[in-house]
Chains A and B, each alone.
Chain A
Amino acid sequence: MRPAENIEKLIRNVPINTSAKRDEEVLDDVLNALEKSNNIQSAAHQPNL
């Protein structure tokens, strides 16, 4: 294998994972943001009576 290919392989195989605790925090915020966005969207589609 050429040195450049070795380097590419190293970069591709970087061993990084998110932690379960961090995932929970991010998903909380992300799902809240989606819920707010959904609420705004559905309110905008309310019929005018």
Chain B
Amino acid sequence: MLEDKLLLLKFKRGSPDALRRIYEKYKDELLALAVALLNDRATAEDALHDVFVSFAQSADKLKLSGNLKGYLITCVANRARNSKRLGQQRMAVSLGETEPIISDSGKPERWIISSEELDTLNNALAQLPYPQREVVILHVQGSMKFKAIAESQNVSINTIQSR
């Protein structure tokens, strides 16, 4: 926590080393979160990239009241939600107006490939409506409190808990 405050201070003063350290420290956790939310590794990697580029661009303007990790988790969740929305719009257009897209990469990459048990869990999570999946992932994997999730989504805590 103290390290994060120091890193943040240096980052706001434009330190590349601080930014590099922040990336190194949280990249794996944030990628796992993005993959869990998006169910696709390539899209998740793009989301992580975009989050950190925006973060770097906002160095001098950043007004961070909570903790750094929570802030980055919220950024990833917002980015994933936008990605999902854009993907659905693109899919609606392509299904209605163009030939079906045939992927040359076989099945889309999944976030869990190491065991049957995890695969089952992944499939079950993928079947949840996106808002519910987001709450489960942010709460369990991102260790976010329901109150923080509610604030990040601009909905009441009761709505979040009912999901």
A binds B: yes
Distance in angstroms from A30 CB to nearest chain B CB is 5
Binding site for A on B (CB under 8 A): 14, 16, 19-20, 23, 27-28, 31-32, 35-36, 41, 45, 48-49, 52-53, 55-60, 111-112, 114, 117-118, 121, 136-137, 140-141
Q: Counting CB contacts under 8 A, is A17 at the interface?
A: yes
A30 touches B53 (CB 8 A): yes
Contacts of A14 in B (CB 8 A): 32, 35-36, 111-112, 118, 141
Q: Give the residue name and chain of the A residue nearest to B24 (CB).
A: A23
Beta-carbon contact of A37 and B59 below 8 Å: yes
Question: How far is B56's CA from A36's CA once the two chains are assembled, in angstroms?
Answer: 9
Q: Give the interface SS of chain B, mostly helix, strand, loop or mixed.
A: helix
Q: Contact: B28 with A18, CB < 8 Å? A: yes
Nearest chain B residue, comparing its CB with the CB of A19: B45
The 9 closest A-B pairs by CB, nearest first: A33-B56, A34-B56, A16-B32, A38-B14, A30-B52, A11-B140, A14-B32, A30-B56, A33-B53
Scan residues 9-44 of chain A and give those whose CB is less than 8 A from a CB of chain B.
10-12, 14-18, 22-23, 25-27, 29-31, 33-38, 41
Chain A residues lying within 8 Å of B57, measured Cβ to Cβ, are 33-34, 36-37
Q: Does A7 contact B (CB under 8 A)?
A: yes
Q: List chain A residues, Cβ under 8 A from B31.
A: 16-18
C-alpha spacing A12/B138, complex, angstroms: 10
B112: nearest chain-A partner, CB-CB: A14
* Given known contacts A26-B48, A37-B56, A8 and B140 CB-to-CB distance under 8 angstroms: yes
Q: How far is the CA of A27 from the CA of B43 in the complex (A)?
A: 17
- Partner among A16, A26, A36 whose Cβ is within 8 Å of the Cβ of B35: A16
> Interface residues, chain A, CB within 8 Å of chain B?
7-8, 10-12, 14-18, 22-23, 25-27, 29-31, 33-38, 41
Residues on A with C-beta less than 8 A from B140 are 7-8, 11-12
> Which residue of the partner chain, among A12, A25, A36, A41, contacts B141 with CB atoms under 8 Å?
A12
Given contacts A14-B112, A16-B31, A16-B111, contact A34 B19 (CB under 8 A): yes
